[in-house]
Amino acid sequence: MKGFRFSEFKPEMKGENKFEQLLNIFQQLLLITAGDVSQALAYMSDLDRQYQLTNDEYGMANFIDDLKKKGYITEENQEGELRMTPKSEQSIRKQSLDEIFGKLKRTKSSGSHHTPYTGTGDELSSDIRAFQFGDTLDQISMTESLKNAQINGGIDDFMLLESDLEVVDRESKIQTSTVLMIDVSHSMILYGEDRITPAKKVALALAELIRTKYPKDTLDILVFGNDAWQIQLKDIPYLEVGPYHTNTVAGLELAMDLLRRRKTKNKQVFMITDGKPTCLKEGINYYKNSFGLDRKIVNKTLTIAAQARRLEIPITTFMIATDPYLKQFVQQFTQVNNGRAYYSGLNGLGGFVLEDFQRNRRKNVK
Tens digits of residue pLDDT in 167-186: 887 655 678 999 999 999 99
pLDDT at 346: 60
Q: Between the CA of residue 120 and those of 107, 329, 352, 362, 363, what are the distances in Å?
A: 21, 39, 25, 11, 13
pLDDT at 4: 60
Contact of 141 with 168, CB cutoff 8 Å? yes
- From CA 139, how far away is CA 60, in angstroms rounded? 51
Q: Is the pLDDT of residue 365 over 50?
A: no
- From CA 202, how far away is CA 96, in angstroms rounded? 7
Q: Is the pLDDT of residue 14 over 60?
A: no
pLDDT at 47: 93
pLDDT band (50, 70, 90) for residue 227: very high
pLDDT at 166: 87
DSSP annotation string for 155-216: STT----GGG-EEEEEE----EEEEEEEE-SGGGGGGG---HHHHHHHHHHHHHHHHHH-TT
pLDDT at 120: 41
Q: What is the pLDDT of residues 256-293, one digit of tens each?
A: 999 999 988 899 999 988 878 999 999 999 999 988 88
DSSP annotation string for 77-101: STT---EE-HHHHHHHHHHHHIIII
Give the CATH architecture of domain 176-361: 3-Layer(aba) Sandwich (3.40)
- From CA 115, how far away is CA 334, in angstroms rounded? 20
Q: What is the pLDDT of residues 33-75, one digit of tens each?
A: 999 999 999 999 999 999 999 998 999 999 999 999 999 999 9
Q: What is the pLDDT of residues 81-121, one digit of tens each?
A: 899 999 999 999 998 888 877 655 444 333 333 333 333 44
- From CA 84, how far away is CA 221, in angstroms rounded? 21
Buried (b) or exposed (e) across 152-188, using 16+ Cβ within 10 A?
Answer: ebeeeeeeeeeebbbbbbbbbebbbbbbbbbbbbbbb
Q: Is the pLDDT of residue 161 over 90?
A: no
- From CA 91, how far away is CA 277, in angstroms rounded? 34
- From CA 116, how far away is CA 102, in angstroms rounded? 28
- From CA 240, how far away is CA 51, in angstroms rounded? 28
pLDDT at 240: 93
Domain range summary for the chain, segments of one domain joined by +: 18-102, 116-171, 176-361
Q: Determine the straight-line distance between the first and last CA of the chain, rounded to whole angstroms.
A: 53
Number of other residues whose CB lies within 10 A of the CB of residue 192: 5
Contact of 54 with 63, CB cutoff 8 Å? yes
Higher-confidence residue of 143 and 19: namely 19
- From CA 192, how far away is CA 59, in angstroms rounded? 32
* Ranges 25-39, 84-98, 205-219: which has the least confidence: 205-219
Q: What is the pLDDT of residues 299-356, one digit of tens each?
A: 999 999 999 999 999 998 888 766 777 788 888 999 999 988 877 666 666 666 766 7
- From CA 137, how far away is CA 344, in angstroms rounded? 38
pLDDT at 322: 65
- From CA 4, how far away is CA 152, in angstroms rounded? 10
Buried (b) or exposed (e) across 43-73, using 16+ Cβ within 10 A?
Answer: bbeeebeeeebbeeebeeeebbebbeeeebb
pLDDT at 15: 38
pLDDT at 147: 85
* Phi, psi (deg, nearest 5) at residue 171: -105, 120
The share of the chain scoring above pLDDT 70, in percent, equals 81
